[in-house]
Amino acid sequence: MSQEPKWDLGLLFKPDSDELIESLNKIRALRANFVAKRELLENGLPTLAEFAALVRDLEALETLDSKVSGFAALSFSENTTDQKALALLGLTRQESADLANDVLFFELWFQKLDPQKAQEYRDSLPEFDYFLDRVRALTEHTLPEGEERILNIKNAHGRQSLVTLYDALTNRYVFDSSFIPGSDGQPIGREELMVQARSPQGEIRAKAYQELYRVFGSDGAILGQIYQALARDWRQENVRLRHFPTPASVRHVDNDLPQETVDSLLRVAATKGRETFGRYFQKKAESLGLAKLRRYDLYAPKSPDTRKWSFAEALEMVAQCFGDFDPQLAQLAKNVAQKNHLDAQIRPGKSSGAFCASLAPGQTPWVLLTFKGQTQDVFTLAHELGHAAHSQLAKDQNLFQFHACLPLAETASTFGELLLAQKLLSQASPKEREALTFHLLDDAYATVGRQAYFALFEIKAHEMVESGATVDEIAEAYWANLNDQFGDNLELHEEFRWEWVSIPHFFHTPFYVYAYSFGQLLVYSLWRVFEKEGSAFAPRLLSLLAQGGSAAPLSLIKAAGLGPLDDDFWIGGFEVIDGFLAGI
């Protein structure tokens, strides 16, 4: 494989074929058949066999919808300027909203059942037990059917349309490249621009960030208004209507995590992170010959990354380090590329960033990233293929218990990055080892410290929107967040007050970001166990991953021999970071 691959979405649906329309029609027919079963529930209690058939019919219906809506989302990610893809995305969102509305009666019926009868149904269908538990757990936050139907429609055409608008706007941004040595002066995309943020030359790094936030800042008022609208919508639905205590608690309940666990995580990740990463920033400044690190220098390489990876070399390296841990993990990673489910090309209009989309159990996931041949891209590949291996390991779970909750969803991806780091360190010269250790510390900051402060900002920003704050006032709050995070350890620059409008997670999935801090510190704890147990640890980790989302995260973590998740646990994760620091 000599060139960066582009996925083949024709494996889902052939372009301009009738198969997509036929699948949409099939969803509608299956939906109508399921709705007809409503009479069964209204006229009495179904038998255990009838109940099992209802749950399995619902799973089959949701699986087909996942394939169709997933195809639309992937098509839009492939080219966010494609009007056909955008139209299809809107159509499938409407279909998914209609489906959610039409099958809503089943979960509402199950929530209202006498507890003893609900338990009887639940115990008769053990493969769906956690799904049914989660349905019952949301009873107090569920509205009457008519209101739920309105909210589903509102989210499809209101909230999601605003998110799509944000994506369409920001993915069209182009940036001046004239400051880049050897540039032809042609406009470039965000992915290409941010390569320069890791340039060995400080002035190039500075100009890359200045250009990034010049463009985002010029639209800051517009993007900020989109954010305000999304935050208001989130609170109106979830706090005022559903009666969650706070906007953030919606995500905690969705993740099945106690509030005190998240509070402990953020408390330690912020306070311990400020101290630990503050020491790192001072060491890094010294190593770069600077009196103080500038924000521009945060991801400056210790030495230039002169190696240029081909995609084939990168994939083989990832497969090797996965295979050293467990051969099955390597093959699962390779599956994605071998089945043409991986898109790594650089091209205009393609969605920025990287993701792994797992549509249904037993189906090979889809991975998107932008591969530029740098070592950082190899780490991104290991991260996303870790996600892909995770979902393939969970293939025996049903659709409702397939996806791990957000905090556990980062387990395999982050562990995969550490496996890659271990492999590269074992092959490196002393100079290369030092540079790679700096990279690992950069990554630890970006995933633990930075994301924790992102989460704290989101909590603050949602409260400010409720209080009527302006976009400029929210930007000022973000600036205060940065100053609290870095203190005197780093020199900040005014344009970074607009960094928040460039973070897609704030718009796409509110309060998602603490999952990264959770996952990274959890994996550091797992890594400490791996260092003690060696190869005997592999089956334990694979067993954890194979559970998907089939149980509460704290239960799965306990089964892996970890916990409780208190302050001491998170502080223990920082021991790995301290070990990296000791190596420079």
Domain final residue, candidates 132, 165, 198: 165
156 pLDDT more than 90: no
Q: Are residue 240 and residue 270 in the same domain, yes or no?
A: yes
Any domain includes 52: yes
Q: What is the mean pLDDT of the chain?
A: 94
CATH number, position 538 = 3.40.390
pLDDT over threshold 80, residue 2:
no
Q: Phi/psi of residue 6, each to 5°?
A: -125, 130
Residue 326 shares a structural domain with residue 423:
yes
Q: How confident is the model at residue 237 (pLDDT cuts 50, 70, 90)?
A: very high
Instruction: Tell me: pLDDT of 206 over 80.
Output: yes
Angle of helix 220-235 relative to helix 450-466, nearest 10 degrees, comes to 80
**In a domain? residue 540:** yes
Instruction: Look up the domain containing 48 and give its range.
Output: 9-165
Verify that 264 and 239 share a domain, yes or no.
yes
Residues 331 and 472 in one domain: no
Q: Which of 40, 63, 43 is nearest to 52 (CA)?
A: 40
Determine the pLDDT at residue 1: 39
Residue 577, domain member (yes or no)? no
Pairing of strands 342-343, 293-294: unpaired
| Residues 257 and 113 both lie in one domain | no
pLDDT at 191: 86
Query: For the residues of 233-255, what is the DSSP string, one character each?
Result: HHHIIIIIIT--SSTTHHHHHHT
Lowest mean pLDDT among 147-151, 292-296, 396-400: 147-151
* pLDDT at residue 575, as a whole number: 93
> Are 485 and 540 in a shared domain?
no
Is residue 332 a part of any domain in this protein? yes
Give percent above pLDDT 70 in the chain.
Answer: 100
CATH of the domain at 455: 1.10.1370.20
Count of the separate structural domains present in the chain: 3
Checking if the pLDDT of 15 tops 80, the result is: no
Query: Does 395 lie in the same domain as 471?
Result: no
Residue 136 is assigned to a structural domain of this protein: yes
What is the tens place of the pLDDT at every residue in 442-452?
A: 999 999 999 99
Residues 533 and 395 in one domain: yes
pLDDT at 161 over 50: yes
Q: What is the pTM of this model?
A: 0.88
Secondary-structure percent of the chain, ordered helix, strand, coil, rounded to 5: 70, 0, 25
- Both 258 and 283 in one domain: the answer is yes
Whether residues 456 and 497 share a domain: the answer is: yes
All residues at 6 or more sequence positions from 322 whose CB lies less than 8 Å from its CB, including other chains:
329, 330, 332, 333, 382, 385, 389, 416, 419
Does residue 348 sit within a domain? yes
pLDDT of residue 152: 86
Whether residue 144 has a cis bond before it, omega within 30° of 0? no
Which residues does residue 491 pair with via DSSP β-bridges, in sequence order?
294
For residue 134, pLDDT over 70 is answered with: yes
The answer, yes or no, to whether residue 260 has pLDDT greater than 50, is yes
400, part of any domain = yes
Asked whether residue 381 falls in the same domain as residue 400, the answer is: yes
Digit-coded pLDDT (tens) for 266-304:
999 999 999 999 999 999 999 999 999 999 999 999 887
For residue 281, give Cα distances in angstroms to 418, 425, 436: 21, 22, 16
Find out whether 138 and 151 touch, Cβ atoms under 8 Å: no
Quick one: 429 and 463 in the same domain? Answer: no
pLDDT digits (tens, 9 = 90+) for 450-492: 999 999 999 999 999 999 999 999 999 999 999 999 999 999 9
Confidence class for position 584, pLDDT limits 50, 70, 90: confident
If phi > 0 it is left, if psi is from -120 to 50 it is alpha, else beta; for residue 182 that is left
Whether residue 564 is contained in a domain is answered as: no
Element (H, E) at 222: helix 220-235
